[in-house]
Amino acid sequence: MTFDPKFYLSLILRRLPIIIAIVFTASMAGILYAVSMPPVYRAEARLLIESPQIPDNLAASTVVSTADEILLAIRQRIMTRDNLLAIATSNNLLDGMPQKTEEQKLAQIGNRLAIYMPTNQGNTGVVIVSFAASEPELSASITNEIADQVLAWSIELRTKASGNTLEFFETEVRRLTAELAQQNAEILKFEQENRDALPESLEYRRTRQASQQERLLQVNRELAALRDRRDRLTELYDQTGQLVTLGQDRTPEQVRLETARQELASALVVMSATNPRVKALQQEVAALEEAVKSQLGATSGGRLSPFEVQMLDIDGQITYLAEQKGLLEKDLQTLEASIDATPANSIRVAELQSNYETLRVQYEQAVASLSDARMGDRIEVTDRGQRITVIEKAVPPAYRAEPNRKRIAIASFGAGVILSGALLLLLEVLNQTVRRPSELVKALGAPPFGTIGYLDGAPARHRWSANRLATVAVFLINIPIILLVVHIYFAPIGHLIGLAPKPPAAVDGAATVKTE
């Protein structure tokens, strides 16, 4: 089907009354809705999130948060149920909503509240606080109250955060101090319990072990020499009955006896045993031995003999060396046990010292962090960090923020145009009559030979067209709407037609509407 502008234009002109009726009705309905809505005033307060006054390279605050995080935290606290209920109660906001539940009322009050950062101003830290109310003064009062809450919450959040940080590090320093003392005490206790088997003295104990082993060998050699000497002296005494003594201690008989023995021994080498010389020497030796024995018995007089004295001296030395040997062996056993226990003690000491070193590093870090936390808390307490300040308080607005009656009227006019267009399209789709030659060609499948003009029949006096019905409907629907708007917002109908006196408040009401 080809597009025919003349045909569609004639169609629109033919349906023009219906279009006007729909557009006019929709526009009047939108205007009635706009004027029936109560006015809403929204006062605004401007706040600024300022940067820290002290540079971070000199002293940084312990509260690190972006403007969005601060704003979100504050908004969540202000939007709590208890806070909204307190605001509503103090400003009597719940009195005008008796038919709603408390939750619905608080939800509606929360929807009136707005705290945001304008996107068209970039990341400047400007915060807008506003509250919608039916009266300008009420809107400004509640907006300023919420702005004060924002300031209070900002200070409380930052000081509480810095205070919690300071408290945490103070607790951490105390904890690490106690753990360091406990770990140090444990190290000292272990070292005292194992002071003879610590790795620090291992080299000394090994040197001492070698020295004691050498000393033990020397004692064993001395013991062996003394025991051998004792045995030889005992054997000599049993054989000769005398001891080998020094020259100055011998008697003349003893000297003569020794000389005689030497002569006898020399004579036996060259002479026989039956030789008179030999026999004489033998008799002399026998006599001298008896004399020496008698001298030794007379000299002792009940005291210890030189042999016994010498044996006692040797036995005393043997006993002393045996005791030294026992002590050396016991000391060597102790040294060997301590050397064997040193590796395990070394591991344990290294573990204790490693734990102590770890705690010491943590303690130093905690002390440094505690110093930073004290500085950060001081910055927040003195209000030298990031803060929120009011740069413009809310004032009662001169104009309402809602509803936007012009926008609603324009929207209702557009809705009427769309509805009328949709109706025309629907009527065109449902209308299957042949009205153009092209439609006839399409219906017959062949071109016509000629056309005959439209011939009017007899006039139908009692027949109403759609255009007339639409005109009547427009008047029937819109006249009451116009009268209602005039009666509510301008002047009562009775006053206009002279049936009622003019109320005193009517002029003020009209003036108020004009001001809006």
30-59 residue pLDDT tens? 877 777 777 788 888 988 887 766 665 565
Q: Which of 1.10.287, 3.30.1890, 3.10.450, 3.40.1710 would CATH assign to domain 36-174+383-392?
A: 3.30.1890
Give 51's DSSP letter. Answer: P
Flag whether pLDDT at 60 surpasses 70: no
Q: Which pLDDT belongs to residue 492?
A: 63
Domain spans of the chain, in order of start: 5-35+403-450+464-515, 36-174+383-392, 200-365
| More confident of the two residues 88 and 486 | 88
| Nearby residues of 90 by Cβ (< 8 Å), 6 or more positions away | none
Phi-psi domain of 383 (left: phi exceeds 0; alpha: psi -120 through 50; beta: other): left
Q: Which pLDDT belongs to residue 48?
A: 85
With b meaning 16 or more CB within 10 Å and e meaning fewer, what string describes 176-202?
beebbeebeeebeeeeeebeebbeeeb
Q: Which pLDDT belongs to residue 178?
A: 93
Flag whether pLDDT at 361 surpasses 90: yes
Task: Report the relative pairing of strands 113-116 and 387-392 from DSSP bridges.
Answer: unpaired
Residue 316 φ/ψ, nearest 5 degrees: -65, -40
List Cα–Cα distances, 507 to 35, 37, 79, 155, 499, in angstroms.
17, 20, 41, 50, 17
Task: Report the relative pairing of strands 41-50 and 126-133 from DSSP bridges.
Answer: antiparallel
| Span 378-390, average pLDDT | 74
Flag whether pLDDT at 246 surpasses 60: no
175: pLDDT confidence band, cut at 50, 70 and 90?
A: very high
pTM reported for the whole predicted model? 0.51
List Cα–Cα distances, 112 to 68, 72, 132, 143, in angstroms.
21, 17, 5, 11
Half-sphere exposure of 248 (CA within 13 A, CB side): 0
Question: Is 187 in a helix, a strand, or coil?
Answer: helix
363: pLDDT confidence band, cut at 50, 70 and 90?
A: very high
317: pLDDT confidence band, cut at 50, 70 and 90?
A: confident
| More confident of the two residues 460 and 174 | 174
Report the sign of the C-alpha dihedral through residues 64, 68, 70, 76, in that order: negative
